[in-house]
Amino acid sequence: MKKYDYVIVGGGLFGGVMAWYARKNGKTCLIIEKREHLGGNIYCENVQGIPVHRYGAHIFHTSGKKVWEFVNSLAEFNRYTNCPVADYHGEMYNLPFNMNTFSKMWGVSTPEEAKVKIEEQRSGVTGQPSNLEEQAISLVGTDIYEKLIRGYTEKQWGRACKELPSFIIKRLPVRYTYDNNYFNDLYQGIPIGGYNVITEKLFEGCDLMLKTDYLADKETFDAMGNRVVYTGMIDAYFKYCFGKLEYRSLRFEDDIYDVDNYQGVAVVNHTAREVPYTRTIEHKHFECTVPYSKIPKTVVTREYPEAWEEGMEPYYPVNDEKNQKLYKKYEELGKKEEKVLFGGRLAEYKYYDMDKVIASAMWKAEAEFGKPE
């Protein structure tokens, strides 16, 4: 049996950054990945010559200079800026809520007029909001809630807004400028050629075992490494001994259209309750510096939120008190596993943006190997 310095479970970003640091420090790595490809959720599938974001739209954005420099050392980034639009029964609104949205909704033209309008509409809720509906109205008023928040949120959570706790929406970004850039971060873009360019660099020089479930033969794999990096589900690692953590899942359906431009933008949020999907993603628009007319067809993915059951892809952790308490119990058990380093969205039961998962892996890798030269 070949022995490795590191057995890394999971070929996603966390595992990749750990592997990159390990290799830079002359260590040998074996990657064990359940899926048939590396990349985890940032994997892009080539369909019709277009990098399709297989597990949901991924837009890289960060204010962390170190992370931005790191990813730029792996791939060149384009100037993609996320400016999604919302479709409510064919009425199109700019997101995030900004002066373009307010102008379309109410015909107002100045920030002062928009503020007056929102103030008028918020006044219906007095006292502490007792559910998500009251919370949203207290933040942005009734029109925006009814047209742009209610249907989308109910589809996402599979429950009426009146039955959802108010803490889900702590704040809603409202911008009194004509600025459609979704993110406030300093840096933003998409790797030219898609995310696989980054993945290939991260795992360069590692041995791979794809389509392999580490937990199905844990003892053998553990014996193959001096150290294990585990990025899978933490409750599964401990055989669900305290019970199962809960998630929300998603289903993606692709259509290929015989037109070069289907919706004119990468991301459309469908906010009407009657439309069963929440978003349509037209992937070619992520490649914003390649003229869309260069490829005569286009790939559009519809995103359907689903209840999660074991065996399905766990996309979003359910961030409530019950699940956090349960996670803490697993985290304590994890601390006793001296040979194992746990990290990433599944092992830490946390919604992590890409830059945050990279920062966390860099921090843990530097504690393990020291800073790279």
Q: Strands, E, within 197-297: which ranges? A: 207-209, 225-230, 247-257, 267-270, 279-282
Residue 64 makes contact with ligand FDA by CB under 6 A: no
d(CA 121, CA 123): 6
**Residue 138 or 269: which CB sits closer to ligand FDA?**
269
The residue (of 42 and 139) whose beta carbon lies closer to ligand FDA is 42
Contact flag: residue 345 with ligand FDA (CB under 6 A): yes
Q: Is 303 a catalytic residue?
A: yes
Q: Residue 63 CB, nearest distance to ligand FDA (Å)?
A: 12
Rounded least distance, CB 233 to ligand FDA, Å: 6
Among 357, 359, 362, 365, binds ligand FDA (CB under 6 A): 357
Q: CB of residue 345 vs ligand FDA: minimum separation in angstroms?
A: 4
Q: Does 353 bind ligand FDA (CB under 6 A)?
A: yes
The span from the CA of 164 to the CA of 158, in Å, is 10
Choice from 33, 133, 246, 287 touching ligand FDA (CB under 6 A): 33
Under the criterion CB under 6 A, does residue 315 sit at the interface with ligand FDA?
Answer: yes
Among 129, 191, 232, 305, indicate the residue that binds ligand FDA (CB under 6 A): 232
Q: Quick check: is 254 catalytic?
A: no
Q: Is 22 in the site for ligand FDA (CB under 6 A)?
A: no
Residue 227 is a catalytic residue: no
User: For residue 186, how many C-alpha atoms fall within 13 Å in the half-sphere facing its CB?
Assistant: 8
- Distance separating the N- and C-terminal Cα atoms of the chain: 33
Do you know the residue count of the chain? 373
Q: What are phi and psi of 310, to 5 degrees?
A: -55, 140
CB of 44 to ligand FDA, least distance (A): 12
- In DSSP notation, 156-214 reads HHTS-GGGS-GGG-S-----SSS---S---SEEE-BTT-THHHHHHHTTT-EEE-S--G
Q: What is the DSSP code (8-state) at residue 338?
A: T
Dihedral of the CA atoms 172, 176, 181, 185 (nearest 10)?
-70
In the set 4, 6, 14, 88, which binds ligand FDA (CB under 6 A)?
14
Opening angle at CA 254, ends 249 and 257, nearest 5: 155
Number of helices (H) and strands (E), helices first, in the chain? Answer: 12, 16
Point out which span in 56-64, 197-205, 255-263, 269-277 binds ligand FDA (CB under 6 A): 56-64
The count of C-alpha atoms lying within 13 angstroms of the C-alpha of 333, restricted to the half-sphere facing its C-beta, is 15
x-marked contacts with ligand FDA along 203-222 as a string, rule CB under 6 A: ----------xxx-------
Question: Any contact of residue 279 with ligand FDA (CB under 6 A)?
Answer: no
Task: Mention every residue, 6+ apart, whose C-beta is less than 8 A from residue 27.
Answer: 5, 6, 369
> What does the radius of gyration of the chain's CA atoms come to, in whole angstroms?
22
Q: List binders of ligand FDA among 233-272 (CB under 6 A).
A: 250
Q: Does 280 bind ligand FDA (CB under 6 A)?
A: no
Least CB distance to ligand FDA at residue 40 (A): 2
40 vs 12: CA distance, rounded Å = 4
Select the residue interacting with ligand FDA from 4, 21, 29, 41 (CB under 6 A): 41
Residues forming the active site: 171, 175, 248, 279, 303, 351, 353
Contacting residues toward ligand FDA, per CB under 6 A: 9-15, 32-35, 40-42, 56-60, 213-215, 231-232, 250, 315, 344-346, 352-355, 357
